[in-house]
């Protein structure tokens, strides 16, 4: 290890960017070189010699360049790790090495650049105040939720004795033909909600009154900027055939319905349950909004330069979630740039909030007891239909128990901030 004080060779480029000069003694290089040379001698096969029998000097002459770089790859990370450990630094990215200098018989020198989480001073977070927000649920909210539950319990029954009307679910088979080239498009089978506003108007018009087995045709002239590139700017004639028609039947809003959705005591008890669930959900939302307001205000008072590599990783993670939520829909280039900007903004907020909460937890002496961990495991196990012992074993085997502890601590710290900051 380098005997000089590594702090003398550490350069602060910025609060989050550092550089350190590394010096590896010639003796260390020579020792590692001989070791790697021995490995090469045993492994390489040179014409005229059996494997492992070639003279070391010949192997050295033939592979000196490769051996040197293998030595660099072995020594530099090892010495850098020792230096960082002495300095108490934990890079958030893979350090990059530059300005490598080495001559035979001399020390190997280079510079390693890396990023770290910067230190920062907390503002007086106890003086932050935000208005109190309240959660409320009225009868219309309960009625809307009950209608949503009814919709999920709906049955789709075959239509008999009439043709298609708006609101029917119609199984159709369609095939388009491009009028200019007469080229046939692939046959498509789909379930269409008759009369839906997002359907092609011509489709809704021709579908009305059709019966199972009946066929009709219609034409569509697509705009040049249509989202479906296959038909954009083209005139397409479609053949349309109805396979079957079903209509949506909602269950009655009564005691029998309540029993089918897990409330044997009847409709009034179901309404009470819905009201309580809605209120609990809105109270959580209010708490989260309040926490966001508090953290945003603290963040405005903090001077904090975040490592660019950390922002990029978090931005990519946020962007992936955004694109996943798009469910495979094509995102135009200009919209994608907007998503990238929003992902970066969210990433900065996430990282900043995490660092603030972590620092406040330490300053306030907040911790997590074993009883809290076990309670959390019981709650998670119940929510996932698992035995608590099985979940605890899984968390331990996957190395995620510490993750759970951090999650509890994060929540406790947020609760502390919210209680401290709310003003009537």
Residue 202 belongs to domain with CATH number? 3.10.50.40
Residue 360 within any structural domain of the chain: yes
Cα–Cα distance, 28 to 116 (Å, whole number): 28
- Is there a single domain that holds both residue 244 and residue 275? no
- Is there a single domain that holds both residue 272 and residue 222? no
Q: What is the structure's pLDDT at 3?
A: 54
Cα–Cα distance, 89 to 6 (Å, whole number): 11
CB 46 within 8 A of CB 59: yes
- Is there a single domain that holds both residue 14 and residue 92? yes
- Is there a single domain that holds both residue 235 and residue 272? no
Cα–Cα distance, 313 to 304 (Å, whole number): 18
- Is there a single domain that holds both residue 272 and residue 409? yes
Predicted confidence band of residue 19 (pLDDT cuts 50, 70, 90): very high
Query: Which residue reads 């009201």 in tokens?
Result: 275
Q: What are phi and psi of 14, to 5 degrees?
A: -160, 175
Query: Which residue reads 């679910």 in tokens?
Result: 169
223, 249, 275 - which closes a domain: 249
Cα–Cα distance, 405 to 386 (Å, whole number): 19
Query: Which residue reads 């900065």 in tokens?
Result: 348
Q: Kindly provide the residue ranges of all beta strands, DSSP E only, lying in 169-251, ordered along the sequence.
A: 169-178, 188-193, 215-221, 235-249
Cα–Cα distance, 127 to 415 (Å, whole number): 16
Cα–Cα distance, 79 to 325 (Å, whole number): 45
Residue 138 within any structural domain of the chain: no
By C-alpha distance, which of 218, 223, 225 is closest to 192? Answer: 218
Tokens found for residue 85: 């450990």
- Is there a single domain that holds both residue 232 and residue 269? no
115, 138, 171 - which closes a domain: 115
CB 44 within 8 A of CB 54: yes
- Is there a single domain that holds both residue 240 and residue 269? no
- Is there a single domain that holds both residue 72 and residue 176? no
Residue 129 within any structural domain of the chain: no
pLDDT (tens digit, 9 = 90+) per residue, 24-60? 999 999 999 999 999 999 998 888 888 888 899 999 9
pLDDT (tens digit, 9 = 90+) per residue, 374-422? 999 999 999 888 999 999 999 988 888 888 998 899 899 989 988 888 7
Residue 74 within any structural domain of the chain: yes
Tokens found for residue 121: 């001073």
Residue 195 within any structural domain of the chain: yes
pLDDT (tens digit, 9 = 90+) per residue, 187-198? 999 999 999 999
The greatest distance separating any two alpha carbons of the chain, rounded to the nearest whole angstrom, comes to: 98
- Backbone Cα Rg of the chain: 34
pLDDT (tens digit, 9 = 90+) per residue, 218-229? 999 999 988 788
Q: What is the structure's pLDDT at 222?
A: 92
pTM strictly above 0.85 = no
Can you give the CATH number for the domain in which 11 is found?
3.30.70.1050
Q: Is the per-residue pLDDT at 116 higher than 70?
A: yes
- Is there a single domain that holds both residue 323 and residue 390? yes
pLDDT (tens digit, 9 = 90+) per residue, 247-296? 999 999 999 999 999 999 999 999 999 999 999 999 999 998 999 999 99
- Is there a single domain that holds both residue 274 and residue 397? yes
Q: What is the structure's pLDDT at 335?
A: 83
Q: Is the per-residue pLDDT at 329 higher than 90?
A: no
Cα–Cα distance, 250 to 352 (Å, whole number): 48
Q: Is the per-residue pLDDT at 330 higher than 80?
A: no
CB 16 within 8 A of CB 91: no
Q: What are phi and psi of 330, to 5 degrees?
A: -65, 130
By C-alpha distance, which of 143, 385, 147, 150 is closest to 261? Answer: 150
Residue 174 within any structural domain of the chain: yes
Pairing of strands 130-131, 108-115: unpaired
Based on DSSP, count helices (H) and strands (E) in the chain, helices before strands: 11, 11
92, 115, 138 - which closes a domain: 115
Pairing of strands 17-24, 10-12: antiparallel
Residue 162 DSSP one-character state: S
Cα–Cα distance, 314 to 254 (Å, whole number): 49
C-alpha distance across the termini of the chain, in Å: 60
CB 224 within 8 A of CB 233: yes
Structural domain of 167? 155-249
- Is there a single domain that holds both residue 192 and residue 339? no
The domain tally of the chain equals: 3
Residue 140 within any structural domain of the chain: no
Cα–Cα distance, 93 to 307 (Å, whole number): 9
Cα–Cα distance, 421 to 424 (Å, whole number): 10
Number of Cβ within 10 Å of residue 136's Cβ equals 10
- Is there a single domain that holds both residue 297 and residue 413? yes
Tokens found for residue 146: 């009950």
Number of Cβ within 10 Å of residue 108's Cβ equals 22
Name the percent of the chain lying above pLDDT 90: 76
Can you give the CATH number for the domain in which 403 is found?
1.10.3120.10
Q: Which residues of 124-135 are buried (b: 16+ CB within 10 A; e: fewer)?
A: ebeebebeeeee
Residue 397 within any structural domain of the chain: yes
């Amino acid at each position: 290890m380098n005997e000089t004080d590594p702090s003398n060779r550490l350069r602060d480029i910025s609060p989050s960017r550092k550089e350190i000069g590394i010096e590896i003694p010639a003796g260390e290089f020579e020792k590692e070189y001989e070791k790697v040379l021995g490995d090469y001698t045993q492994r390489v096969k040179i014409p005229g010699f059996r494997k492992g029998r070639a003279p070391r000097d010949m192997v050295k002459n033939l592979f000196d360049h490769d051996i040197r770089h293998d030595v660099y790859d072995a020594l530099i990370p090892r010495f850098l790790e020792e230096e960082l450990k002495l300095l108490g630094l934990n890079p958030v990215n893979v350090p990059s090495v530059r300005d490598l200098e080495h001559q035979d018989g001399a020390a190997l020198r280079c510079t390693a650049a890396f990023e770290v989480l910067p230190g920062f001073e907390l503002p007086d977070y106890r003086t932050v105040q935000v208005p109190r927000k309240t959660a409320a649920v009225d009868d219309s909210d309960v009625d809307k939720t009950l209608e949503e539950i009814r919709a999920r319990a709906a049955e789709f029954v075959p239509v008999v004795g009439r043709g298609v009307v708006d609101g029917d679910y119609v199984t159709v088979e369609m095939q388009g033909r491009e009028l200019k080239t007469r080229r046939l498009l692939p046959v498509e089978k789909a379930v269409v909600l008759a009369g839906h506003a997002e359907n092609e108007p011509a489709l809704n018009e021709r579908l009305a009154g059709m019966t199972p087995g009946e066929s009709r045709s219609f034409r569509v002239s697509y705009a040049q900027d249509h989202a479906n590139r296959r038909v954009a700017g083209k005139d397409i004639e479609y053949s349309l055939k109805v396979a079957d028609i079903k209509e949506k039947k909602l269950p009655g809003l009564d005691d029998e319905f309540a029993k089918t959705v897990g409330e044997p005591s009847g409709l009034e008890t179901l309404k009470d349950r819905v009201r309580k669930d809605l209120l609990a959900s809105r109270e959580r939302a209010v708490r989260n909004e309040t926490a966001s307001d508090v953290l945003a205000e603290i963040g405005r008072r903090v001077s904090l330069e975040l490592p660019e590599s950390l922002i990029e990783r978090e931005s990519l993670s946020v962007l992936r979630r955004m694109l996943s939520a798009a469910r495979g829909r094509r995102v135009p280039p200009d919209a994608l740039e907007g998503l990238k900007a929003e992902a970066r903004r969210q990433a900065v907020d996430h990282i900043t909030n995490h660092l603030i909460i972590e620092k406040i937890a330490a300053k306030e002496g907040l911790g997590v007891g074993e009883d809290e961990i076990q309670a959390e495991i019981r709650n998670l196990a119940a929510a996932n239909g698992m035995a608590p012992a099985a979940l605890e074993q899984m968390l331990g085997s996957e190395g995620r128990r510490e993750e759970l502890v951090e999650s509890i601590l994060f929540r406790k710290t947020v609760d502390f901030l919210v209680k401290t900051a709310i003003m009537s």
